[in-house]
Structure 1
Amino acid sequence: VTGGADVIIWKKLGEVAMSWIISPISGAVIAYIVFRSIVHFVFASGKPAEAAKKFGPLFIGLTFFIISLSLFTKTHLGDVLFTGMNQIMLVSLAVFVVSTIAGIFIVGEMTIGKGYEAVEYLFKRLQIITSCYVALSHGANDVANAIAPLSVVLTTALKDTSIVDSNFSYYLLALGGAGIAAGILTWGYKVIRTLGSKITALTNTRGFSVDFGTATTVLVASRLGLPISTSHTVVGAVIGVGLARGLEAVDLSVVKKIIYSWAFTIPASMALSIIIYKGLMIVF
């Protein structure tokens, strides 16, 4: 507003906008592949309960492999414990092997019933783990987005560049986390309803595919240094799972509304921030 168009880093803004395209497409492709794999190896096997017990441990191992890779590469934990990506990969592979072997014993002892219900029963447990990870990743990403402007404002106002690196930054992150939690408790049900049932009908196997596609996309994009939007990735993954069952399984009218809302976000928030800023300038 004050500096004109030249003060905007258009390249970075373009990267953010591109993430809104790359994220959902990547999430959709991976979720599609995962769910089609479950359909092929489990549901279409003729004996889905037995196939679930056979391939279930593999999906357990893959789940913990992705989670461990993400934790070690996206947090300071990897910097503290390891000296390079090779060590992280070796440890994550070890986690994969151990969790797969553990899964063989755990699934082998489980009474999961028969038929398709048995498959959903097994993946219900897996989805709890993947959903928690996606929620963690989503929260971390959105808290950073919300708190970054506040950190810059405080740094400028107090003329103290150490705020971002000091313990005070943790209070800012806690504030952002509290805001997200409050949002989920109040209006979050609307988003849950849209993603959970309005785009396409989700079951535990489909939900697992959505979470796995989202987690993998976030991990790969982070390693490649690509901008990523967790929210858009989840939406894309849900659409991908729906497309795995055919185009008629996806409510295209809901998808159109979501795409329109994405396109509306930048100009709407831009206009609103200009109005608020100009109003404050007049008052103060």
Structure 2
Amino acid sequence: MDADRGEVRHLETLDRDLGRFSSLEMATGYVSRPLAAPGIALVFIVLAGIVAAVLFGQSNNSLIIVVAAALGAYMAVNIGANDVANNMGPAVGARALTMGGAIAIAAVFESAGALIAGGDVVSTVAKGIADPHSMGTSTTFIWAMMAALLASALWVNLATWVGAPVSTTHAVVGGVMGAGIAAAGFGAVDWQTMGAIAASWVISPVLGGLIAAMFLWFIKHNIVYRDDKIAAARRWVPVLVGVMAGAFAAYLSLKGLKHLVHISFDRALLIGLAVGVLCWLMMIPVVRAQSEGLENRNRSLKALFGIPLVVSAALLSFAHGANDVANAVGPLAAIVHASQTADFSDSFGIPSWVMVIGAMGISFGLFLFGPRLIQMVGNQITRLNPMRAYCVALSAAITVILASWLGLPVSSTHIAIGAIFGVGFFREWNAHRRMHLARAAIPAELQIGAEERRRRKLVRRSHFLTIVTAWIVTVPAAAGLSALLFLLVRTIAG
């Protein structure tokens, strides 16, 4: 009997100890979870440096190349954490893609864009922002590019932490500008180019917002507000998918594939027209089959826009990988070229191992840190459904085409976010207009007061102010940080 009691007490003590260990494990997991993602990112950054050490361990300035490779990997991780959200956020917010599916598609297509169609040749200093001849020596140029790379990466990291989608290309431009000014004075900067970039801060989002709002108005006027919504959808959805297919064919011809084959603007438009007409004809029986048995209500229409939305997100990711990754790793390629040849004034190719670091870094950054900003872009600015997200994706492609025709430098980030704001503000305006028209038929005691109408905003003003502020300060903030880093490095290097 006593033995049984002793056994019971022993088991109770063991249960309490196991409970303590279980609680300790849970607490340890809870504490360490926020550190897991930065830890994995740090391992990737270190591995990038090791790869550079293996490749250039016996060459001159090998330490500089190793440090630059680590900084390039850090920048690539930040691109994945911030920039990619603009392509995937609308599809996730519209529930056309799950978060896991969005991350998988973005990782594959961003990497494919970077590796297949990534930049063959870039200017020595980020599209002519600063004159490399004014920097004097290759050593000064290398320090300037190192400062620009680190400053732009730190700024994008901060913006991601705050929850603000910013243009990584603009961050790189700001970093190069700041380092150029610190190295050679204000005369080293091409202020005409900088003025064009500053103009794009306004032009990109406004143009994207207007185009997205225009297409949303078209969908509502021709499909949503019709008595027979399904019949209207059978007529217009194939047309809309054809327009999207044509726009993306022209977009990829101009931007996504420009490093593989040169295609003129006129020829790109012809390619887009041919693809658009073909997809329109192909989608007529497909939409007819999809719409069989659907109820005559708005919810049924969402199913018809799901697949085009997923395809558009994948194509946007491919084009982004082909363009913005090259811009981001451009300073790393410049450092490698200058450290090996002491030549820093001519154009140069981006080595394949640099593009691999960029592509893999984007995938890691997206997987580890991307979901937070994807959720913000997709859900927290304004409520999206497949039709609204379709308008955002289509606006991104068309705006880039128009900007290329006008010769304007634009940011894909600003276009996508501007299109989301355009959709949200159009919904506010449309809701207010319809409420005003219906007010005469509603008794005065049932009408919504002005204060309540102000409260029922469809665009979150706090996110609007945060994002616009981040856009405005990206170039000057990256420039100031880069200048400080350059002066610090030059002082330490002696």
TM-score exceeds 0.5: yes
- State the distance in 2 between where 1:232 and 1:202 align: 18
Question: 2:395 aligns to what?
Answer: 213
Q: Which secondary structure does the structure 2 equivalent of 1:202 belong to?
A: coil
Separation of aligned partners in 2, 1:162 and 1:269: 23
1:68-87 deviation line (CA, Å, top 9, x unaligned): 1122222248846x6x5554
Give the SS at the match of 1:244: helix
Distance 2:400 2:270 in 1: 20
CA contact (8 A) 1:52 1:119 kept: yes
* Match of residue 117 from structure 1: 299
Q: CA deviation at 1:153?
A: 2.3
Is the 8 Å Cα contact of residues 252 and 319 (structure 2) preserved in structure 1? Answer: no
Aligned residues of 1:155 and 1:161 also touching (Cα < 8 A): yes
SS of 1:245's equivalent? helix
Q: In the alignment, does 2:309 pair up with 1:127?
A: yes
Shift of 1:201: 0.4
- Spell out, residue by residue over 1:87-145, the C-alpha distance to the aligned partner (whole angstroms, 9 max, x if none): 44334322222111100011112246222122111111111111122222333332122
What is the match of residue 97 of structure 1?
277
Aligned-partner Cα distance in 2 for 1:62–1:213: 11
**Residues 87/197 of structure 1: CA separation in 2 closer, same or farther (3 Å cut):** closer
Q: Distance in 2 between matches of 1:131 and 1:259?
A: 24
Letter of the 2:183 counterpart: T
Q: Tell me the equivalent position of 2:424.
A: 242
2:370 corresponds to which residue?
188
Please give the TM-score of this superposition, normalised by the length of structure 2.
0.53
Correspondences of 1:150-161 after superposition (within 5 Å) = 150-159=332-341
Query: CA shift at 1:57, angstroms?
Result: 0.6
Q: Distance in 2 between matches of 1:55 and 1:16?
A: 37
Report the Cα distance in structure 2 between the residues aligned to 1:210 and 1:71, rounded to whole angstroms.
Answer: 17
Q: 1:86 to 1:141 in 2, by over 3 A?
A: closer
Show the counterpart of 1:37: 218
1:21 paired residue among 202, 207, 210: 202
What fraction of aligned residue pairs are identical, expressed as a percent?
Answer: 28
What is the match of residue 483 of structure 2? 274
Higher Cα Rg, which structure:
2
One-letter amino acid matched to 1:57: P
Q: Is the 8 A contact 1:138 1:231 kept in 2?
A: no
Deviation of the 1:258 alpha carbon? 0.6
SS for the counterpart of 1:201 is coil
Paired position in structure 1 for 2:142 = none
Moved over 3 A (4+): 76-80, 84-91, 160-166
Give the Cα separation in 2 of the matches to 1:95 and 1:176.
31
Q: Does 1:140 align with 2:322?
A: yes
**Structure 1 residues 20, 139: closer, same or farther in 2, change over 3 A?**
farther
The yes-or-no answer on 1:178 pairing with 2:360 is yes
- From the superposition, tell whether residues 238 and 48 of structure 1 become closer, same or farther in structure 2 (CA, over 3 Å): same
Q: Distance in 2 between matches of 1:209 and 1:45?
A: 19
How far apart are residue 42 of structure 1 and its match? 0.7
Alpha-carbon distance in structure 2 between the residues aligned to 1:230 and 1:218 = 8
Can you give the 5+ residue segments of structure 1 that lack an aligned partner in the other structure?
Answer: none
SS of corresponding position for 1:46: coil
Deviation string for 1:246-276 (max 9, x for gaps)?
1521112210111111122222212221222
- The more displaced of 218-227 and 37-46 is 218-227
In structure 2, the residue matched to 1:63 is 244
Partners of 2:266 and 2:189 lie apart in 1 by 38
Letter of the 1:274 counterpart: A
1:54 equivalenced with 2:263 (yes/no)? no
Superposed CA RMSD: 2.3
Q: CA–CA distance in 2 between the matches of 1:161 and 1:265?
A: 26
Pair 1:238–1:29, CA change in 2 (3 A): same
Cα distance in 2 for residues equivalent to 1:209 and 1:258: 20
TM-score, length basis structure 1: 0.90
Contact 1:155 1:163 in 2 (8 A): no
Unaligned runs of 5+ in 2: 1-181, 430-456
Q: Is the 8 A contact 1:28 1:238 kept in 2?
A: yes
Distance of aligned partners of 1:172 and 1:127 in 2 relative to their CA distance in 1, 3 Å threshold: same
Give the AA of the match of 2:298. Answer: Y
Q: Could you tell me how far apart the structure 1 residues matched to 2:265 and 2:410 are? A: 21
Q: SS at the partner of 1:200?
A: coil
In the aligned structure 1, how far is the partner of 2:273 from the partner of 2:471?
Answer: 37
Distance in 2 separating the partners of 1:66 and 1:139: 18
Q: Is the 8 A contact 1:15 1:227 kept in 2?
A: yes
The amino acid across from 1:2 in the alignment is: A
Cα distance, 1:169 vs. partner? 2.9
Alpha-carbon distance in 1 for matches of 2:330, 2:367:
23
